[in-house]
Chains A and B, each alone.
Chain A
Amino acid sequence: MSVPRYWREEVPRYRLLGKECTGCGAKFFPARPVCTECGSTEFKDHKLAEVGEVVTWTVIRNPPPGFEKYKPYVVALIELEDGMRLLSQVVDVDPDEVQTGMSVEAVFRRVKEDGKTGIIQYGYKFRPVVE
């Protein structure tokens, strides 16, 4: 991962920051150049909700390079309380205990490292909400 490529996504990844179309109010995460609803190219920031629920999920058992030490890990499609959807790992849970509809909250976590001297990549993951 090159430095500029990592740097430009830092804010959206670290703060769960999406965009809202100033033309029609449609919300997006991540940012897009063109609104899918009205074609506008003007947006303002939209802070995503940090709690949501699992819509569907899987367990990754044969990961891509860089993710080996986390296996097996859960990746889910999550719908947040503001109606936004995103993909994320679900952590701090046994894969056998994940359920569709499970309530989850955002956490800030290490994602992977580029070898011993490269960038340490961070971002959001989700974990079950403890009632």
Chain B
Amino acid sequence: MRKVAVAGVGLVKVSEHWGKPIGALFADAALQAMKDAGTDGVDGLYVSNMSGALMQEQLSMGALMADAIAKPGLSAVRVEAGSASGGVAFHEAVKAVASGYSDCVLVAGVEKMSDVLPEVVTKSLVMEEEQEYSAYTGVTKPGLSAMLHRLYLDLYAEPSEVGMMAVQSHENAVGCKHAQYPFRMSIERAMDSPMEADPIHMMECAGVGDGAAAIVLVPADTEGVEVAATTVATDYCSLPMREDPLTLGAVKTAAEKAYKLAAVKPGDIDLVEVQDDFTINGVLSLESLGLVEPGKAAKYVAEGGSARDGELPTNTFGGLKARGNPLGATGVYQIAEVALQLRGAAGDHQVEDANVGLAQNMGGLGSTCAVTILRRLGR
């Protein structure tokens, strides 16, 4: 297997792109990434998209996106793994280059959520869950996380400590050109916002937006940013099947395998991007990744451990909460952001001495998790 490197990245601001069809949104990110990589000679395309079949009534997304960047003939496929689509597409793309089958691959996520009404977004999110016995109860995606949130509050933390995850993400988004909500938010604002699914407040949830992010992958050289590990793991889809609901089994499995492949320990990670689509998901992710002890992540966040200038800089461009969460594109945003950090190209968001970074992208209530570890070469 060859080592693989990130040669270029492209990020579109997460926003409501009313005037742009999904192909144009995709092309914006893809062309940026190819320009950044200094090549348009890609020989494979992996499109990550979660809900185009529902929101745009569009299948054949691989062909449509190859068409959008005027590359008929290109091998192209759409990857869907719920909200983990981006991380899983990246994993597949890395395998294509590592195996020698492809020499230059474009992996790009796109999601256009502003085309549909809010209740259709709610429906698309619960489509990530098992339909006949979970979704049939009328539960929602935030509702499932809310049940974990309540268990966590019963055992370990105050609501405002969990809520600080969102406050910190907003703090990190200030000045970020591709963030949807680049402004500060106080903990009072979060705690005073209406309930979305008790005990989750509305301002503890990622919003709705359109976005596209792209990465070009090539065989690794001696410089740049190397893919040290990429893993995917799954877990039982329905909550009642989980022995300990507060352990995200897929996250734990994917992370342990990734540390082993990259030959690093959790303590070697200089920065991390986690799935904070709800504050509790971010908190539980830090724990299941093995970065913070079980039951302690909310306090760790509240005490500043995960701040950008803290011990473990987390969600350095705003995370899902403030950069935005365009579902199928989110995992690609996360990895591109880690790559920018390791290149030293993160501007005002730069984490000092960033050599190893991790991105964790999760679908459903942790039924799929993709973990990526990137490493800076040539030091």
Contact = CB atoms under 8 A, between A and B. Distances in A.
B56 to A, nearest CB: 18
Contacts of B147: 56-58, 75-77
A78 to B, nearest CB: 8
Interface residues of A, number: 37
Interface stretch (B128-136, B180-188, B315-323, B333-341): B128-136
Interface of A: 5, 9, 13, 29-30, 36, 55-68, 70, 73, 75-77, 84-89, 95, 100, 111-112, 121, 123
A9 B132 contact: yes
Contacts of B144: 58
Contacts of B150: 56-58, 100
Contacts of B256: none
Contacts of A63: 119, 122, 138, 140
A56 B120 contact: no
Contacts of B241: 36
Nearest to A68: B119
Interface in B128-165: 132-140, 142-144, 146-148, 150-151, 154
Interface stretch (B76-84, B192-200, B258-266, B297-305): B192-200
Contacts of B236: 36
Contact of A75 (B120, B132, B139, B245): B139
Given A61-B195, A77-B147, A100-B150, A85 B140 contact: no
Interface in B226-280: 236, 238-241, 245
Nearest to B149: A58
Which of the listed residues A36, A77, A111 has the most CB atoms from chain B within 10 Å of its own CB? A77
Contacts of B20: none
B interface: dominant SS: helix
Given A58-B146, A59-B198, A77-B147, A64 B119 contact: yes
B198 A58 contact: yes
A59 B137 contact: no
Given A58-B147, A64-B123, A89 B197 contact: no
A89 B197 CA distance: 14
A47 B267 CA distance: 48
A87 B154 contact: no
B200 to A, nearest CB: 8
Contacts of B195: 59, 61
B279 to A, nearest CB: 14
B146 A64 contact: no
B143 A75 contact: yes
B132 A30 contact: yes
Contact of A62 (B135, B151, B154, B196): B196
B137 A88 contact: yes
Contacts of B135: 64
A87 B151 contact: no
A27 B339 CA distance: 46
Contact of A111 (B138, B154, B239): B138
Nearest to A28: B241
B33 interface: no
A43 to B, nearest CB: 16
| Closest CB pairs A-B (n = 3) | A58-B146, A85-B240, A67-B138
A63 B148 CA distance: 18
6 contacts: A5-B132, A9-B132, A56-B150, A58-B143, A59-B195, A64-B126
A67 B143 CA distance: 14
B138 A70 contact: yes
B100 interface: no
Interface in B82-141: 118-120, 122-123, 126, 132-140
Nearest to A73: B138
B136 A111 contact: yes
A75 B138 contact: yes
B157 to A, nearest CB: 15
